[in-house]
Amino acid sequence: MDGKEKVDAINIAKPMLGPEEKNAVLEVMSSGKLAQGEKVDRFEKAFAAYVGTRHAVAVGNGTIAIHLALLAHGVGRGMEVVTTPFTFIGSVTPILFCQARPVFADIVEKTYNIDPADMKKAMTRQTKAIIPVHLFGLAADMDPIMEAAGDVPVIEDACQAHGAVYKGRNVGSIGSCACYSFYPTKNMTTGEGGMITTNNEELAAKLRLLRDHGQKTRYEHVVIGYNYRMNDISAAIGIEQLRKLESFNGRRIANAKVLSDGMSGVKQVKTPVVPEGYRHVFHQYSIRAKKRDGLKDFLNLENIRCGIYYPRLVTANAPIKPFATRPTPRAERATREVLALPVHPGLSQEDLARMVNTVAAFYVEK
């Protein structure tokens, strides 16, 4: 493909911010009320209504959300929490913040999500919580997860799954609670921010205490808490982004279909699976590719910015390595084969065609 004119880059992610978000921020700035306040309250109510839960508690980011969820469930020193090793480290470090022990179960090959059968094998009497990650925008298989969990709380990591659906139920409304991130690359953003959704009133009350210095009323601190609040500027952005989320997700789903249809004839590539009854919202469009690293380099040379999520398991990192006591071969294999292509709402039909043609050209040239 030498000799071509330089083409514009197709970026792996693009925050979709418009005049509505800018005006909302200016409104908050003009009010002079910047800390957690009315906008946060409005955002919480709107997000709970969207997910279909009674409560939503806004916090500073997705990692904070998981940390508070664990604390609110009483997870502490010496307890075990079962999760997946094929995820971002922020799914796991909150377990260590609580001085608990992460235990890792393998993934389902086709979906990249935690395998309910191996999760059940990983559980012991010390298991005090389970964190299934709805990876890349696709729900984990929640029915067998909930059945295997029994009385053990299931904390959904929905940080990549805003608007995903599992068999008619919204992700974030199935477990004891669910945790979201609003980082700039997510399906919707607040710049930085997080949310915890739950139907449990007592749990929601604990979360609200813990995020705000343990305050029951002004200067009445009833538990040791944290400064984990969201500010009104972030919430104002979130309110506007939430209004656009369905449109954003619809475009991601449509873009993913164009990519999957276009690459259906490329035998060296396996496109994402969407099981029946699921709504995949494609936070990432991750393929499994032969000669993955070569394809990545080839795409980058053509100014198509792709990414590897994840090139190593969480358990390969020094702080987590001591807890890698169970084999997870399917997750390990995924680290050598997955490649994420751009799928965000800012892509044009020409961008999508260029990606499909470039992937096909790599394997033809090989």
pLDDT, tens digit, for every residue of 163-210?
Answer: 999 999 999 999 999 999 999 999 999 999 999 999 999 999 999 999
Q: Name the residue among 179, 137, 159, 186 with its Cα closest to residue 16.
A: 186
Which helix H or strand E contains 19, and what residues bound it?
A: helix 19-31
Cis peptide bond prior to 219, omega within 30° of 0 = no
Q: Where are the beta strands (DSSP E) in 84-171?
A: 101-104, 127-131, 155-157, 165-166, 169-170
Distance of CA 141 to the CA centre of its chain: 15
CA dist., res. 204 & res. 315, Å (int): 31
pLDDT in tens, the chain (366 residues): 455 567 899 999 999 999 999 999 999 999 988 888 899 999 999 999 999 999 999 999 999 999 999 999 999 999 999 999 999 999 999 999 999 999 999 999 999 999 999 999 999 999 999 999 999 999 999 999 999 999 999 999 999 999 999 999 999 999 999 999 999 999 999 999 999 999 999 999 999 999 999 999 999 999 999 999 999 999 999 999 999 999 999 999 999 999 999 999 999 999 999 999 999 999 999 999 999 999 999 999 999 999 999 999 999 999 999 999 999 999 999 999 999 999 999 999 999 999 999 999 999 965
Q: Which pLDDT score is estimated for 1?
A: 46
Which helix H or strand E contains 118, and what residues bound it?
A: helix 116-122
CA dist., res. 174 & res. 171, Å (int): 6
CA atoms within 13 A on the CB side of 214: 7
Q: What pTM, to 2 d.p., does this model score?
A: 0.96
Q: What is the DSSP letter of 289?
A: E
| Sheet hosting strand 155-157, strand order edge to edge | 55-59, 194-198, 177-181, 155-157
CA atoms within 13 A on the CB side of 119: 29
What domains are there in the chain, each with its CATH number? 19-240 (3.40.640.10), 245-365 (3.90.1150.10)
Angle at 282 between CA 25 and CA 18, to 5 degrees: 20
Please classify residue 59 by burial: count the beta carbons closer than 10 Å to its beta carbon, then call 0-12 exposed, 13-18 middle and 19+ buried: buried
